[in-house]
Structure 1
Amino acid sequence: MPDPDSSRPEEGRQSDPGTLFPVADYARAAGTTEDDPQQSSRKFVFTRALRTKGFEAAGETTDRLHTFLLNEPEYTLLASHHEGDSSFAVLFDSSATWDIPGTADLLAVHVARNPMWRTFDFDRARLPMVALAQQWLVARGCPPEAIVLRPERATQPADPESTALETRLRTSPGRYTLLDHYTDDGGPFESWAMMRDTHPESADAPVRVFIESADIGAGTYTLREGGFTDEDAAQEWLDERPGPLPPALRTSRPGTASRPAMPPPPGASGPRR
């Protein structure tokens, strides 16, 4: 967890989630109180957001949870869903900006409660894109449509291709293996993920690179996919950027945006990626 008294650079990466998520979308509704269960809040509290009050962490969960909660004040809840004894959430971690360069700032969190023993199991994954965080949760039983941000909390995809790619990623647990990723929150404001695709249509170019780029001025983002024969070829392209991504077979179908809202706040130079 960063030292609040340490000196931080004036330029470069931004840690304020307000540069990503509009306060208005998370503000308390008129006529509600701080304890109103229907109010939406930017503040993340583990026991409340994941319904673990009165439960204790079980087994190896204890160590994972302790590490996770060290940065609890830095988390912003983007989306959550509760089904039976499971809770699912996508979080933004503002502390990632002070971590190793390239660290992803999104967390997927899954809690499974045992009402009989009043215990819970907890797991999480740090991922570079909202659609990949959602995919991780879908693989653990979350309905794909239940963990999508509401339209008023999501920027608009710049084109149908971006929407279709997000939908495919979110709804395809087990299809892809994440090989590497990088988040650049100081410009050019993008995240990329290198993945191995097991779908038969990708046999000739099984290594896929997905690049998500935000245009803060336009209030939109794009997601693109490229196909490579192996990891070395993909990494060489990422290092040198010699031209457009090599074409990849695409599945075009209607979908919904997964990206959290990023309208420009006053004086902001740009989004985190």
Structure 2
Amino acid sequence: MSYSGYEPALRLQGYRPASAAVEREFCDRIAPCETDLNTLAQHHTPDGRQSFFVFHDTSAMYGLPGEPQLLALHLTRDTEARTFTFASARLPLYALAQSWLIQRHCPASAIKRPEDIGTNPADTMTTGLEQRFRDHGNQFSIVMSYTAEGYPTQETVVLLEAADRTGPQPYRILLETTDLRAYTHQLREGAFDTADAALTWLDDRSTPLPRPRATTAPQPPAKPAGPTTARGRKR
């Protein structure tokens, strides 16, 4: 398989997968949607060894219902052997895609949300929450997510579980509502003691999202663990 077709976006011309396993994974995860990927942000190290991307995968809108539409990709090149490896994750929110790449040593300033593409934060609370989960998203893992298509509003729900489940309210719901006419999005956070309580609120929604009683002390970014994709939930 030739990888020159991914030029210039992925900068893989003249490179081959580092192993048969890498090639299989690349053909399974990246190649099928390559023509449907719109680049939202990218960063390349000066030595050419690493590239970081945030893509919007338009094919996700026609795949499994609720599937995350953002793809975070980290490419690592061996410039002497002319081979590459990669890691990728499908994520439901831009801040979580940023966090995933930052944990892999991508500069935060290099993958800011583009101002001329997509929607803008609707208020300061949205901006603050996005910054917090961008910088400290490693404190949580994704339990499930669901992106609901619609017009004039689109909604994304994410259920997170804290790495430290002994802390207060270790389960969080992130609710992003996008106004496609105003080109804005609003993000809100709810805090729960159990996953069942969070899912019960999600199914009912007769009360406002319960705000966190306490804020977890920020921790330095850490290498992520666990699955790289969020599990969708049908409603």
Contiguous gaps of at least 5 residues in structure 2? 217-235
Q: Which of residues 192, 197, 201 in structure 2 aligns to 1:228? A: 192
SS state of the match for residue 168, structure 2? coil
- Verify: 1:166 aligned to 2:126, yes or no: no
Aligned ranges 1:43-192 → 2 under 5 Å:
46-59=6-19, 60-67=21-28, 68-83=30-45, 84=47, 85-153=49-117, 155-186=119-150, 188-192=153-157
SS state of the match for residue 70, structure 1? helix
TM-superposed deviation, 1:185: 1.0
Aligned ranges 1:208-223 → 2 under 5 Å:
208-223=172-187
Q: Which string of whole-angstrom CA distances, capped at 9 and with x for unpartnered residues, describes residues 59-78 of structure 1?
A: 22111111220121111111
Give the total of aligned pairs: 206
Q: Which amino acid aligns with 2:59?
A: S
TM-score of the superposed pair, with normalisation by structure 1: 0.71
Contiguous gaps of at least 5 residues in structure 1? 1-44, 252-273
Contact 1:61 1:123 in 2 (8 A): no
The 2-side partners of 1:216 and 1:135 are apart by 25
Aligned ranges 1:183-262 → 2 under 5 Å:
183-186=147-150, 188-198=153-163, 203-248=167-212, 249=214
Contact 1:138 1:173 in 2 (8 A): no
The 2-side partners of 1:133 and 1:217 are apart by 24
Contact 1:50 1:88 in 2 (8 A): no
The 1-side partners of 2:186 and 2:215 are apart by 15
The 1-side partners of 2:118 and 2:112 are apart by 9
SS state of the match for residue 105, structure 2? coil
Which structure carries more relative contact order (alpha carbon 8 Å, separation 6+)? 1
Sort the Cα spacing of 1:153 and 1:199 in 2 relative to 1 into closer, same or farther, 3 A.
Answer: farther
SS state of the match for residue 104, structure 1? coil
Q: CA RMSD in A?
A: 1.9
The 1-side partners of 2:64 and 2:173 are apart by 21
Sort the Cα spacing of 1:46 and 1:131 in 2 relative to 1 into closer, same or farther, 3 A.
Answer: farther
Q: Which amino acid aligns with 2:158?
A: A
TM-superposed deviation, 1:173: 4.5
The 2-side partners of 1:182 and 1:241 are apart by 16
The 1-side partners of 2:89 and 2:105 are apart by 15
The 2-side partners of 1:110 and 1:189 are apart by 28
TM-superposed deviation, 1:199: 6.7
Contact 2:129 2:188 in 1 (8 A): yes
Contact 2:121 2:184 in 1 (8 A): yes
Contact 2:154 2:180 in 1 (8 A): no
Contact 2:175 2:189 in 1 (8 A): yes
Query: Percentage identity across aligned positions?
Result: 37
